[in-house]
Amino acid sequence: MPLVPMRQILDEAAKKGYGVPHFNVNNMEQAQAIMRGAEEVKSPVIMAASKGALKYSDMLFLRNIMNACIERYPKLPIALHLDHGTSVDICQTAINLGFSSVMMDGSLQEDGKTPRDFDSNIEVTREVVNFTHPLGITVEGELGCLGGIEDGIGSGQEKLTDPNKVKEFVEKTRVDALAVAIGTSHGAYKFKIRPDPDKNLLAMDIIRRIHELCPDLHMVMHGSSSVPQELIAQINKYGGAIPETYGVPLWAIQEGIKAGVRKVNVDTDLRLAVTATIRKYMKEHPNEFDPRKYLEPSREAMKQIIMERYIKFGSAGHAFDYKPMTLEDMKKFYENE
């Protein structure tokens, strides 16, 4: 305790108009950075594992790292979330592992690449909601497709969300949150030019329109790493070769939060922080070979990014605003819906 349903974290964020970062986790250092950052700024936590993370960690190891977070930080509300589940089976696996939230990404077929049509997306998402809500577990769906392909999730063909289809999708599936496609993509290579406010690289009007049509919907922004330029510079200074690239600026995310975005997915920025730190450390300490020596500063570098996001998205200071709900509480909520 308290493992909380993600739905509660998002409902509370909506009441006060802030966003909550979703951080991906693959190993102990990332999990500790997420928790240490949250404790320091008093933020609720959404910790997410992708199918790739479950595979990398043999599932059992990551599950136990996540459980250790709950045990070590018993006062912080924590949602354990499956990122980009592309089948009913993987959602079931996450539930068996003890997650309190799953994403059924029905925008894509099981291969994580081929777009799925609207009706089939509704069907598969509804199937997941039908067996998760009676357990008190939250479901995030996705409508529209993100552009990137570099991490194996994404069609390569961007298909922005059609605001006119959102109400029907949400009513028919009863999802708790919806990922919308507005021009972001996964990974470090999002934009070749800096996305200044006058360039209109992101379709923020889609978010505003969806918010007008469905004011109670919790929207999710995937592909929301900001790709800090100082981390790219550090990686390249110490032997890396990352071409010029830009991410989603924090001001754009803040605009989205004002218009109903409640969950903001960040993974790449933590990867960049680790790589930048380790590259620098290795170059400066060629005789060192104890992994703790470079994992410790990389954990600290991740924590700095994490705290900045908690603060900038507005979730800092809100961890203790509410009494954490159990999955049993949430079961009753869905029964009375």
Nearest to 267 by CA among 306, 314, 294: 306
186 counts as binding ligand G3H under rule CB under 6 A: yes
Is residue 29 near ligand G3H by the rule CB under 6 A?
Answer: no
Cα–Cα dist 91/189, whole Å: 28
Residue among 323, 315, 322, 217 at smallest CA distance from 18: 315
Least separation, in Å, of the C-beta of 266 and ligand 13P?
A: 5
Annotated catalytic residue, options 58, 83, 111, 198: 83
CB of 184 to Zn ion, least distance (A): 9
**Cβ 92 to Zn ion shortest distance, Å:** 20
| Residue 52 interface partner, choices ligand G3H, ligand 13P, Zn ion, none, CB cut-off 5-8 Å depending on type | ligand G3H
Identified binder of ligand 13P from the candidate list 47, 54, 124, 266, rule CB under 6 A: 266
Binding flags for ligand G3H, 195-214, as an x/- string (CB under 6 A): --------------------
Residues 6+ apart with CB under 8 A from 96: none
* Nearest-angstrom CA–CA distance, 39 and 303: 11
Q: Calculate the alpha carbon distances from 192 to 147, 227, 228 in Å.
A: 14, 12, 14
Q: Which residues, other chains included, contact 71 with Cβ-Cβ below 8 Å and sequence gap of 6+?
A: none
Q: Is the dihedral of CA 159, 161, 167, 169 positive or negative?
A: positive
225, interface contact from ligand 13P, Zn ion, ligand G3H, none, CB < 5-8 Å by kind: ligand 13P
3-class state of residue 112 by DSSP:
coil
Residues 107-166 that bind ligand G3H (CB under 6 A): 151-153
What angle separates helix 88-97 from helix 118-132, to the nearest 10 degrees? 20
Q: Give residues 238-277 in contact with ligand G3H (rule: CB under 6 A).
A: 267
What mask of x and - would describe binding to ligand G3H in positions 45 to 84, judged by CB under 6 A? -----x-xx-----------------------------xx
Give the one entry of ligand G3H, Zn ion, ligand 13P, none that residue 53 binds, where binding means its C-beta sits below a cut-off of 5 to 8 angstroms depending on kind.
Answer: ligand G3H
Binding string, 296-315, against ligand 13P, x = CB under 6 A?
A: --------------------
What values do phi and psi take at 15, rounded to 5?
Answer: -60, -35
Q: Which 74-133 residues touch ligand 13P, going by CB under 6 A?
A: 83-84
Is beta strand 261-266 parallel, antiparallel or unpaired with respect to 20-24? parallel
Catalytic-residue membership of 111 = no
Residue in the block written with tokens 């609720």: 44
Q: Which does 224 bind (CB under 5 to 8 A by kind): ligand 13P, Zn ion, ligand G3H, none?
A: ligand 13P
- Rounded CA separation 121/138 (Å): 17
- By annotation, the residues acting in catalysis are 83
Binding site for ligand 13P (CB under 6 A): 24, 83-84, 186-187, 222-225, 265-268
Binding site for ligand G3H (CB under 6 A): 24, 50, 52-53, 83-84, 151-153, 186, 267
